[in-house]
Amino acid sequence: MSSPTSDAVVIRPARAADRPAIWAALEPTVRAGETLALPRDMGEAAALACWHGAGHAVFVAEAAGRVVGSYYLRANQPGGGDHVANAGYVVLPAARGQGMARAMGKHSLAAAATRGFRAMQFNIVVSTNTAAVALWRSLGFAVVGTLPGAFRHPVAGEIDALVLFRRLP
């Protein structure tokens, strides 16, 4: 699925040649340890193996011909939960605040529906990630649960994680 989401952003399936650019977006987020539930010292090979895990469809967002972000889409759970999608997103620090996450979010909802998913669920949205929470709410997600102290933030300590859910058309 390749589609422009605006005049400036094109989202397309990732290729093997995109791995260094995906790592460039993924590494600062992993190192910061503030939004992804991944080890902060995770190496490139392990992080990319996780991002491109079994059953993941991986996409990149390009602006001006440069990869500025990536997301993966997968079934949230196997078996009886495989009709609900799950996704993870990263944006290059220099490209944040420019609508890339919104473009990838919209694209992922359409891609999930195209693949037959009936809903999308995010299992752990860090409560202090207010920009992400606001984005997902604006795209129709509801907070359906709070997991008290479920995320160890490197600055704020043990903080709440949110579970977000949205049905798909």
Q: At what angle do helices 100-114 and 130-138 cross, to 10 degrees?
A: 50
Which tens digit of pLDDT belongs to each residue from 42-57?
Answer: 999 999 999 999 999 9
Q: How confident is the model at residue 2 (pLDDT cuts 50, 70, 90)?
A: very low
Which tens digit of pLDDT belongs to each residue from 101-159?
Answer: 999 999 999 999 999 999 999 999 999 999 999 999 999 999 999 999 999 999 999 99
Q: Which of 54, 80, 59 is nearest to 5 (CA)?
A: 59
Q: Which of 161, 166, 164 is nearest to 36 (CA)?
A: 161
Determine the 3-state secondary structure of 5 from DSSP: coil
Q: How far apart are the C-alpha atoms of 127 and 148, rounded to whole Å?
A: 10
- Tally of domains within the chain: 1
Burial 4-32 (b: 16+ CB within 10 A, else e): ebeeebbbbebeeebbebbbbbbeebbee
What is residue 142's predicted lDDT score, i.e. its pLDDT? 98
pLDDT at 61 over 90: yes
The whole-number average pLDDT for the span 2-28 is 85
pLDDT at 6 over 80: no
Q: Could you list the residue range(s) of the whole structural domain that residue 59 is in?
A: 3-167
Q: Which two tokens stand for residue 139?
A: 């795209």
Query: In DSSP terms, which residues pair with 25 in a beta bridge?
Result: none
For the chain, what's the residue count? Answer: 169
What is residue 5's predicted lDDT score, i.e. its pLDDT? 44
pLDDT at 95 over 90: yes
Q: Which two tokens stand for residue 106?
A: 């919209």
CATH number at residue 120: 3.40.630.30
pLDDT at 7 over 90: no
In this prediction, what percent of the chain has a pLDDT beyond 90? Answer: 95
